[in-house]
Structures are given as C-alpha cells and as structure tokens.
C-alpha cells in the first residue's frame, strides 16, 4: 500500500459523501484457509487506508456499513467477535481519528439490548472525543438497516399526527428525511460495494435514491486508497441526470 494516492483522479470533482458496503471479508479468509473472523481483522487496515485516502481527496462524509440489522443471524461466535472487534477498533483508533480531524458518528440502533454495554460506552466516548472535528465526518452504520430506519421515521411522524401537532397533509419528503437517524447527513453521491455482489443489502435505502453505485470485485481486505480513487474516477465518468433528459441539442 502506498501512503498516498497513485491513481489519476480529478481532484476538483470529488464526491462530497461516499458510502461503502465493505463486503467479502469471509471469502478473503476462506481463500487463505483462515477463519472468517480473521477476514474481519484484515479489513481494519483496509478501512484506515481508505480513511487516509478520503482525507487526501477531500471527501467530507464517509459512511461505512459495519454491521447490518440482518447480521445478527450469523453464528454467535462471529457476532460476538464483531462486537468485541468494534470495541477494540475504537480503543485503538479513536485518537488517530481525532488527530486527523475526523468526527465519528454511529448510525443505527445502538440502544439495542444485544449491543454490549462496553461497546455502547466506547461509541459514546469516540463520538464525544471527536464531536468538534470538521475535516471529515465518518459515519459507522452499525446495527443499521435502511428499512427499519424508515419505519422509525414514520413512527415519529405518525405520533405527531396522532397527538394533533401535525396534519397528515403536511408530511412530505423533506420531513421524512429530517426524521431519519442523521438529519444533517447529505445524501451519498457515490456508493461503493466490494466483493462482486450487486445489491444494497438494506444500506441507505432512502438516501440512495440518486446515488451512483460502483461495484468492484475486490474483496474488502484487499481494498485501499488507490481502489477508492479508482471508484471515484469511475463515478466521475457518470452523467447524473436526476430524472432529466440527456442534452442532445446541437452546440
Ligand atoms: C463483510 O464481510 C463484513 C460484515 C458483513 C460484517 P462478510 O463477512 O459479509 O464477508 P463475505 O461476504 O461472507 O465474504
Ligand atoms: C452487507 O453485507 C452488510 C455489511 C457489509 C455490514 P452482507 O454480507 O451482510 O450482505 P449479504 O448477506 O451478502 O446481502
Ligand atoms: Mg458478505
């Protein structure tokens, strides 16, 4: 891994918000006769190389999918490994993130009883330590599911209608957006998924309405800042039309 980006990318057209579905840790480990959990461990240096790359490029928001609401269905050993891994990662990395000017935010159901108390504690201290940082916001989508996020927002809005403080006619898209977990998070411009899978797996369903997706077959532990730059360069070739027409008028 180089400690700076070696791939050609237009530094004047960097997406403001990049989301990453970090997938393929288990397959990376299987291919080496290692346990799946060793694949997760190997994903940590990849993630931090990407953080450095994102900072080098000037990305303002980086959202990484670290644990989905469906990942509880994995075997108990893997789930408890992942919980402890997050504790260790926050302990190991929070000072580095803070020194880099990164604001850390967790997005998802952290109050869930299945989330260990010690992890909740480490999450709160990392968020608190970094809360004034402005160089980049790093969102950990953890115990996150796009559908349940929308359901929670609808529940809030319905409660306001039920108590008479809101009329159903006033509900619109921006109100729903404001009731999602992070009201001030801009929609992602680019969503990357590694490991050759072509699906959202419940990541940022509402926010991704007009995101560009880039899929790569690279397994997450092999991803790095140059791969990030390659994905951004592919994004830069796209024509984001937001429903508009292709302009074919003669020049
Ligand atoms: C992604 O890698 C990490 C998490 C979902 C926590 P996987 O563990 O899904 O790896 P594969 O997809 O089985 O290879
Ligand atoms: C998505 O990967 C979740 C994370 C990367 C945290 P999964 O491996 O859980 O998704 P599926 O099961 O392949 O759809
Ligand atoms: Mg997977």
pLDDT score at 247:
74
Q: Which of 43, 66, 68 to mutate to test the pocket of ligand 2 (most atoms within 8 A of CB)?
A: 68
Is the CB–ligand 2 distance for residue 196 below 6 Å? no
- Catalytic machinery residues: 23, 71
Task: Name the residue with tokens 């006619």.
Answer: 169
Q: Whose CA is nearest to atom 2 of ligand 2?
A: 23
Is the CB–ligand 2 distance for residue 233 below 6 Å? no
Q: Which of 24, 47, 222 to mutate to test the pocket of ligand 1 (most atoms within 8 A of CB)?
A: 24
Q: How far is CA 70 from CA 148, 201, 209, in A?
A: 11, 9, 22
| DSSP symbol at 246 | -
Q: Which of 27, 202, 203, 215 to mutate to test the pocket of ligand 1 (most atoms within 8 A of CB)?
A: 27
Cβ atoms of 20 and 189 within 8 Å: the answer is no
Q: Whose CA is nearest to atom 13 of ligand 1?
A: 26
Structure tokens at 39: 């694949």
SS (H, E, C) 88-102: HHHHHHHHHHHHCCE
Structure tokens at 58: 């000037």
Structure tokens at 231: 């994905």
Cβ atoms of 142 and 71 within 8 Å: the answer is no
Query: pLDDT 10s digit of each residue in the chain, 251 long?
Result: 679 999 999 999 999 999 999 999 999 999 999 999 999 999 999 999 999 999 999 999 999 999 999 999 999 999 999 999 999 999 999 999 999 999 999 999 999 999 999 999 999 999 999 999 999 999 999 999 999 999 999 999 999 999 999 999 999 999 999 999 999 999 999 999 999 999 999 999 999 999 999 999 999 999 999 999 999 999 999 999 999 998 777 66
Is the CB–ligand 2 distance for residue 68 below 6 Å? yes
Q: How far is CA 249 from CA 2, 224, 245, 246, in A?
A: 44, 41, 11, 9
Q: Whose CA is nearest to atom 10 of ligand 2?
A: 201
Q: Going from the N-terminus, what domains does the chain have, and what CATH number goes with each?
A: 17-145+187-236 (3.40.1180.10)
Name every protein residue with a CB atom under 6 angstroms from any ligand 1 atom: 22-27, 67, 71, 82, 195
pLDDT digits over 199-216, tens only?
999 999 999 999 999 999
Is the CB–ligand 2 distance for residue 202 below 6 Å? no
pLDDT score at 226:
98
pLDDT digits over 179-188, tens only?
999 999 999 9
Sheet-wide strand order for 136-144: 102-107, 136-144, 61-68, 17-21, 190-193, 212-215
HSE toward the beta carbon, residue 174, CA cutoff 13 A = 1
């Amino acid at each position: 891994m180089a400690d700076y980006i070696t791939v050609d990318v237009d530094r004047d057209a960097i997406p403001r918000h990049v989301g990453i579905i970090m997938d393929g840790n288990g397959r990376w480990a299987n291919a080496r006769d290692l346990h799946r959990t060793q694949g997760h461990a190997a994903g940590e240096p990849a993630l931090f190389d990407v953080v450095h790359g994102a900072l080098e490029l000037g990305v303002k928001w980086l959202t990484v999918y670290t644990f989905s609401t469906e990942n509880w269905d994995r075997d108990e050993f893997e789930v408890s490994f992942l919980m402890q891994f997050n504790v260790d990662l926050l302990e190991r990395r929070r000072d580095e993130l803070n020194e880099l000017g990164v604001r850390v935010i967790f997005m998802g159901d952290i109050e869930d009883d299945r989330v260990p108390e010690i992890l909740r504690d480490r999450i709160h201290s990392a968020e608190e330590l970094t809360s004034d940082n402005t160089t980049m916001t790093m969102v950990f989508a953890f115990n996150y599911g796009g559908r349940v996020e929308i359901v929670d927002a609808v529940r809030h809005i319905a409660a306001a209608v039920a108590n008479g403080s809101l009329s159903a006619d006033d509900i619109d898209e921006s109100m729903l957006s404001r009731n999602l977990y992070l009201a001030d998070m801009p929609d992602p411009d680019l969503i990357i998924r590694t490991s050759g899978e072509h699906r959202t797996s419940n990541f940022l369903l509402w926010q991704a309405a007009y995101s560009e997706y880039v899929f790569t077959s690279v397994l997450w532990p092999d991803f790095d800042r140059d791969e990030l730059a390659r994905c951004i360069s592919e994004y830069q070739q796209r024509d984001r039309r937001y429903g508009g027409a292709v302009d074919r008028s003669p020049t």
